[in-house]
């Protein structure tokens, strides 16, 4: 089991591998062991892996985040989906790039939209039309 300092190093290296904040690397043929190990750790589902200290930051949720949470909870209460589906669709099934590129509740919105289309609650055309309507309302291209 790695020490706290080794674990912190792995997380620092791993964070630089994230596509959203990727730093260009001149990769040699031989990759340092710590960099290799950091690249193998998934960004989610880290159950059983040792944890490094996390800096807790007070943050007040924005309105869209609260609305997203409530919408997803209502979908669950109505039996449209369950927490496992939300977790799987929002974490595992979207791929590494989208996982790092979307904020936490952004992934909830994405997986809710995908789930509603996949389970035929709305058609993809209806969803795209609604997105276009909202964009036009806010003057977005």
Q: How many whole angstroms from its chain centre is CA 35?
A: 22
- Options 100, 104, 105, 138, the catalytic residue: 104
Q: What is the DSSP letter of 29?
A: S
Specify whether the backbone of 45 is left (phi greater than 0), alpha (psi in -120 to 50) or beta.
Answer: left
CA dist., res. 58 & res. 60, Å (int) = 7
Burial class (CB in 10 A: 0-12, 13-18, 19+), 72: buried
104 is catalytic: yes
CA dist., res. 136 & res. 31, Å (int) = 48
- Determine contact, residues 27/19, Cβ cutoff 8 Å: no
- Determine contact, residues 56/103, Cβ cutoff 8 Å: no
Catalytically active residues are: 104
């Amino acid at each position: 089991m790695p020490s706290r300092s080794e674990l912190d190093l792995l997380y620092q290296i791993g964070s630089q591998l994230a596509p959203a904040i990727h730093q260009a690397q001149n990769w040699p043929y031989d990759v340092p062991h710590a960099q290799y190990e950091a690249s193998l750790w998934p960004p989610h589902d880290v159950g059983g892996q040792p944890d490094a200290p996390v800096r807790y930051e007070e943050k007040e949720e924005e309105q869209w985040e609260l609305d997203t949470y409530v919408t997803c909870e209502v979908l669950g209460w109505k039996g449209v989906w369950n927490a496992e589906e939300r977790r799987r669709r929002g974490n595992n099934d979207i791929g590494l790039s989208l996982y790092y590129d979307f904020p936490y509740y952004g992934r909830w919105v994405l997986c809710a939209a995908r789930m509603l289309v996949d389970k035929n609650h709305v058609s993809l055309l209806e969803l795209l039309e609604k997105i276009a309507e909202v964009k036009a309302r806010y003057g977005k291209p």
